[in-house]
Structure 1
Amino acid sequence: MFSIEHEFDATVITLVDEGPAPLQEDVVINSFAECVTLEQFDPRTEQIQKITLSPEQVRDLAAALDLPEGVYQIHERPSQGA
């Protein structure tokens, strides 16, 4: 299950683990214009763990989810005028 909320400066997506036990803590994704952050509570340390990705890293991650094993580099094509 997940929720999506649009706030003033970010889109916030919360992923809730509904799978079989053991369940993982919620993952909160904050999408800003300049970066995307992923946050998850770590019960071992009782702290929020945070990862920051650039827009390019998010693009690469999305592409990687649908590709077979290997090494890839995405090249942007210049847009062609109408």
Structure 2
Amino acid sequence: MFTIEHEFDATVVTLVDDGDAPLREDVIISAFADCVTVTQIDPRTDMPVVVTLSMEQLRDLSHALDLPEGAYRLRKDE
């Protein structure tokens, strides 16, 4: 299950783990104009862990999901 919310400065997608146990904490993805953050509560510390991706890293990730194992460099026009 997931939700999508449009806020003033970001689009926020929340991924809810509703699969088989053991269940994981929700993942919150916030898309801003210049970066994307991925946040999840660490159940050991009960503190949020935030990863920030630049738009270039996000582009590379989207391409990487469809490629076989290896090292790649995308051209500027991709």
When normalised by structure 1's length, the TM-score is: 0.90
Q: Greater strand share, 1 or 2?
A: 2
Amino acid at match of 1:73: R
**For residues 17 and 73 of structure 2, what CA distance do their matches in structure 1 show?**
31
What residue in structure 2 maps to residue 26 of structure 1?
A: 26
Residue 57 of structure 2 aligns to a residue whose secondary structure is helix
Over 4 Å off, 4+ runs = none
Residue 46 of structure 1 and its aligned partner are, at CA, apart by 1.0
Q: What is the root-mean-square deviation of aligned Cα atoms in Å? A: 1.2
Aligned to 2:35: 35
What is the percent sequence identity of the aligned residues?
Answer: 63
Write the letter of the residue equivalent to 1:30: S
Name the CA distance, whole Å, in 1 between partners of 2:32 and 2:23. 28
Could you list the per-position Cα deviations for residues 19-78 of structure 1 after superposition, in whole angstroms to 9, with x for gaps in the alignment? 111011000001000110000001101100000000000011111111110001111229
In the other structure, the counterpart of 1:7 is 7
Larger radius of gyration: 1
Q: What secondary structure, in the 3-state scheme, does the structure 2 residue paired with 1:58 have?
A: helix
> Unaligned stretches of 5+ in structure 2?
none
Q: What is the SS of the residue equivalent to 1:56?
A: helix
User: What CA distance in whole angstroms lies between the structure 1 residues aligned with 2:66 and 2:18?
Assistant: 23
The alignment covers a number of residue pairs equal to 78
- 1:44: which partner in 2? 44
